[in-house]
Chains A and B, each alone.
Chain A
């Protein structure tokens, strides 16, 4: 097994599972955390991730296939997705102009997938551009469901959009005007009361500390 990436809470290794390329996601023990806290966080997140991936897949959203789940060691073995993260894609574009509306299409699709996920009753909890993988055939795959849960409130859904916006704007500041395209995509696929979510998202957005308050 080869270490592929170390995130904030897990190590990702590449391997093969029954001749297929796979990744091993291990929520390893964090030495900086209190032991009891560490165990409960690792357990809860491993469970949440497996459940959300399954539910999304059943609902027709592209997520990695889970090959094996080990709740004792907090390990999930899943399909290796070939592609690059949307974060990398946007960084590599590095400010070049949108060619033939490809970027607009990508952002609309991201919004549409989130809308669909919310319609299925899944809250992601950590939506960043690093957690959406773009495959070569332009399919988008959602990953990293460790902070997810089911039956989100309107507030939760709004927070998902807000977290994405923040990650989007802080790393790709030159694209900040384009976030509205993601919201348009979201509106196209969300099946419940879209306006309620969008209004709440505007509320959440205005909440950050020490913002200018007008009126």
Chain B
């Protein structure tokens, strides 16, 4: 039995979680929210994490109801993510591991999302759609690696939504994507946007430039409402994601889909995926914001899986890296 604590702070969420053999004991999070019309900047986000991490750690320990000495391993996000944010959080994890004299496990953020999704939904071997502010990948497991079938060739889908939210000056609280989702519910008139699928890959930057350029005149002439534009953008880019996921499923003859990552809590995306799955007798697995959005539990859980499969690392290898691809990690805990 392993009690694992996980530290996550690769983007604008700072999160700590404690997990005991797949059972979630605590899942605490603080989000850095930038003013409307602005994105979060590395320096300010890192400052937010540094200011909050000790308080959040206390809160997490209290919520979990365990004593410090019961913790067996300390896990943290090695990457990918924003450099300054990663290193600040890693410094705390490294200090605690030394202080408590426990093994320190560096975890790949993307892999953690997948493992958390598998744990919560109980899906066995799904095709994974991983969608967030920094990542957009269609993933399937084969021969000890999570292989990337399709991905964005430029910006991530969440980044595309976030940046459009800035054009409309939507609030970043709780997240720009959430506010776009709410606006889109009242959209009616569909604006035809570029639809960019290249094999299994997708591209969003052209769509974003297109709608950014057109939006001011479309809105001022009254031809389209902001709600219509949110609706059109969501419908177009989500259709691209569903299509590439389905291509991967068709190629690997898979009957399960798992959606993970922050954009994965968008209910319209989940609905569309569900319809697609029903049309081909497949099953959709999705989670809610507690586990879709970056969290510490996923880091703790994945670290525990690595630890249980015999993973050990040297102190020199507990560094962070901004570039750390999903397909670089050998999955020692799956057959």
- Interface of A toward B, CB cutoff 8 Å: 6-9, 30-37, 40-41, 87, 125-128, 130, 147, 159, 163, 166-167, 169-171, 173-174, 207-213
In the complex, the answer to whether A163 meets B201 with C-beta atoms within 8 Å is yes
Q: Which residue of chain A has its CB nearest to the CB of B193? A: A37
Per-residue 0/1 for B235-251: is the Cβ within 8 Å of any A Cβ (1 yes, 0 no)? 11001001110110111
Find out whether the CB atom of A210 lies under 8 angstroms from the CB atom of B276.
no
Offer 22 A-B interface pairs, CB within 8 angstroms, sorted by A: A8-B246, A8-B249, A30-B239, A30-B279, A32-B272, A32-B273, A33-B235, A33-B239, A37-B236, A40-B192, A87-B251, A126-B199, A126-B247, A127-B199, A147-B197, A167-B251, A170-B148, A171-B251, A171-B252, A208-B151, A208-B153, A209-B135
Q: Does B140 contact A (CB under 8 A)?
A: yes
| Beta-carbon contact of B250 and A8 below 8 Å | yes
Is B319's CB within 8 Å of the partner chain A?
A: no
* Contact across chains for B243 and A8 when beta carbons are under 8 A apart: yes
Inter-chain pairs besides A37-B236, A167-B200, 20 sampled, C-beta below 8 Å: A6-B250, A8-B250, A32-B275, A33-B235, A33-B239, A37-B192, A37-B235, A127-B199, A130-B251, A163-B199, A163-B201, A166-B201, A167-B251, A170-B140, A207-B153, A208-B148, A208-B325, A210-B324, A210-B325, A213-B323
| Residues in chain A near residue B192, CB distance under 8 A | 36-37, 40
* CB-based contact B199/A125 at 8 Å: yes
Q: Is the interface of A mostly helix, strand, loop or mixed?
A: loop
A159 to B203, CA, bound (A): 13
- Interface residue from A9, A147, A166, A173 paired with B149 (Cβ < 8 Å): A166
Please give, as numbers and ranges, the residues of chain A lying within 8 Å of B247 by CB-CB distance: 7-8, 126
With a 10 A CB-CB cut-off, give which of B149, B251, B273 has the most chain A CB atoms.
B251
- How far apart are the CA atoms of A179 and B153 in the complex, in Å? 21
The answer, yes or no, to whether B152 is at the interface (CB within 8 Å) is yes
Residues on A with C-beta less than 8 A from B47 are none
Are B199 and A147 in contact, CB atoms less than 8 angstroms apart? yes
Residue of B nearest to A33 (CB): B239
Taking Cβ atoms with an 8 Å cutoff, the residues of B that contact A are 80, 135, 140, 142-143, 145, 147-153, 156, 190, 192, 195, 197-201, 235-236, 239, 242-244, 246-247, 249-252, 271-273, 275-276, 279-280, 322-325
A30 to B199, CA, bound (A): 18
The listed residue (A32, A159, A174) touching B276 by CB distance below 8 A is A32
Q: Tell me which of A34, A167, A209, A213 contacts B239 (CB under 8 A).
A: A34
Which chain B residues border A125 with CB–CB below 8 Å?
198-199
Distance, CA A212 to CA B321, complexed state (A)? 10
- Chain B: which residue is nearest A146 at the CB level? B197
Q: Is the Cβ of B151 less than 8 Å from the Cβ of A209?
A: yes
* Known A37-B192, A147-B197, A163-B199; contact A7-B250, beta-carbon cutoff 8 A: yes
Asked whether A30 lies within 8 Å of B276 as measured between CB atoms, the reply is: yes
Distance between A38 CB and nearest chain B CB, rounded to angstroms: 8
Q: Establish whether residues B149 and A170, one from each chain, have CB atoms under 8 Å apart when the complex forms.
A: yes
The residues of A that contact B195 with a CB separation of less than 8 Å are 37, 41
Please determine whether B323 and A32 come into contact, CB atoms closer than 8 angstroms: no
Closest chain A CB from B68 CB (angstroms) = 35
Which 10 residue pairs are nearest across A and B when measured between Cβ atoms?
A163-B199, A8-B246, A32-B272, A32-B275, A34-B235, A8-B247, A170-B147, A210-B323, A210-B80, A33-B239
Q: In the complex, which residue of chain A has the Cβ closest to the Cβ of B239? A: A33
B153 neighbours in A (Cβ, 8 Å)? 207-208
- Indicate which residue in A7, A31, A34, A173 contacts B143 across the interface (CB closer than 8 Å): A173
Residue of B nearest to A129 (CB): B251
Q: Is the Cβ of B279 less than 8 Å from the Cβ of A128?
A: no
Closest to A128 in B: B251
Contacts of A6 in B (CB 8 A): 250, 280
Q: Which one of B147, B239, B322, B323 contacts A37 once the chains associate, using CB atoms below 8 Å?
A: B239
Chain A, residue nearest B149 (CB) = A170
Q: Which of B142, B236, B272 contacts A170 (CB 8 A)?
A: B142
Minimum CB–CB distance from B206 to chain A (whole Å) comes to: 13
Q: Which residues of A contact B150 (CB under 8 A)?
A: 166
